[in-house]
Amino acid sequence: MKKVITYGTFDLLHYGHINLLQRAKALGDYLIVALSTDEFNSIEKQKITYFSFEERKRLLEAVRYVDLVIPERNWEQKVCDVKEFKVDTFVMGDDWKGKFDFLNEYCEVVYLERTPEISTTKIKKDLKI
């Protein structure tokens, strides 16, 4: 079984997220999503989410491409997650291109093109949230 992992906040889940999850799942048999916790978002990422971790987790678990949702608590856990879950492929949006190449030592690293016309930032801006 080929395992794939991706990371993110996935706030205000939208079709760009779904596109990423669908393409990530197509790279393997089992998709793990490491979802940023509320604490990690606020302290490390300087982000305030609209939905709580539990609400975002519930939304992701309802997406048919997602097999498992785990918490992302810090930047450093990626190597441990790849080893613990025996991940074959690490996937991120291409806005992160090159940032996770150090993981090539442990698994394949793939940067997928983002859906250009949509983002949570754009939604929040348009809605003035």
Active site residues: 45, 47
| CA 118, chain centre distance (Å) | 16
Tokens representing residue 50 in the block: 């609209």
Cβ atoms of 35 and 53 within 8 Å: the answer is: yes
Cβ atoms of 33 and 68 within 8 Å: the answer is: yes
